[in-house]
Amino acid sequence: MTGSDAATYGIDIGGTKLLALRLGGGATVRAASPRRREDVIAAIRNAVSGSEPVAIGVGVPGLVDTGGVLVSSPHLPGLAGTPLAALVREAWPDAAVWVGNDATAAAWAEAAAGAGRGASDVLTVTLGTGIGGGIVSGGRLQEGARRFAGEWGHMVVDPHGPPCPCGQRGCWERFASGDGLGRLAREAAYAGRLDLAGGDPEAVRGEHVTAAAAAGDAGALAVMQELAWWLALGLANLANIFDPEVIVLGGGLVDAGEVLVAPTREVFPRLVHAGDQRDRIRIVPAELGSGAGAVGAALLASAMPRSLC
Ligand SMILES: [Zn+2]
The pLDDT value given to residue 215: 94
Look up the domain containing 154 and give its range.
119-287
pLDDT at 308: 36
89 and 161 in a common domain = no
Say whether both 211 and 88 belong to one domain: no
**Residue 212, domain member (yes or no):** yes
Shared-domain flag, residues 149 and 36: no
* Number of independent structural domains in the chain: 2
* Residue 148 sits in the same domain as residue 280: yes
Phi first, then psi: give them for residue 61, nearest 5 degrees.
Answer: -85, 85
Report pTM. Answer: 0.89
Sheet holding 6-13, edge to edge: 29-32, 17-22, 6-13, 52-60, 96-101
Please give the C-alpha separations between residue 194 and each of 124, 202, 205, 209, in angstroms, as whole numbers: 31, 12, 12, 9
Same domain, 148 and 241: yes
Q: Determine the Cα–Cα distance for residues 197 and 283; give it in Å rounded to an integer.
A: 32
Q: Residue 112: inside a domain, yes or no?
A: no
- Separation in Å, CA 69 to CA 103, 104, 139, 221: 16, 15, 26, 43
Q: Are residues 16 and 123 in the same domain?
A: no
Q: Are residues 29 and 124 both part of a single domain?
A: no
- 9 vs 309: CA distance, rounded Å: 15
Asked if residue 113 is part of any domain, the answer here is: no
Going by C-beta distance under 8 Å and a sequence separation of 6 or more, which residues neighbour residue 101? 59, 60, 61, 62, 63, 64, 132, 134, 143, 147, 150
Taking the centre of ligand 1 as the mean of its atom positions, its distance from the CA of residue 153, in whole angstroms, is: 6
Is residue 114 domain-resident? Answer: no
Q: Are residues 102 and 36 in the same domain?
A: yes
Same domain as 123, residue 55 = no
- Which pLDDT score is estimated for 3? 44
pLDDT for res 114:
97
The reply to whether 68 and 11 lie within a common domain is: yes
CA of 168 to the centre of ligand 1 (A): 5
Q: Ligand 1 centre from 144 Cα, in Å? A: 19
Q: What is the pLDDT along the chain (309 residues), one digit of tens a residue?
A: 444 467 999 999 998 899 999 998 877 899 999 999 999 999 999 998 777 899 999 999 999 999 999 999 888 999 999 999 999 999 999 899 999 999 999 999 999 999 999 999 999 999 988 899 999 999 999 999 999 999 999 999 999 999 998 899 999 999 999 989 999 999 999 999 999 989 899 999 999 999 999 999 999 999 999 999 999 999 999 999 999 999 999 998 998 889 999 999 999 999 999 988 888 999 999 999 989 999 999 999 997 333 333
pLDDT of residue 51: 79
CATH number for position 36: 3.30.420.40
Question: How far is C-alpha 116 from the geometric centre of its chain's CA atoms?
Answer: 14
Q: How far is the CA of 166 from the centre of ligand 1 (A)?
A: 4
- Burial of residue 84 (number of CB atoms within 10 Å: 0-12, 13-18, 19+): buried
Does the residue 33 lie in any domain?
yes
Residues 160, 265 share a domain? yes
**151 and 86 within one domain:** no
CA 280–ligand 1 middle distance (angstroms): 30
Q: What share of the chain is helix, strand, coil (3-state, %, to 5)?
A: 40, 20, 35
Q: Which of 136, 81, 73 is nearest to 104 (CA)?
A: 136
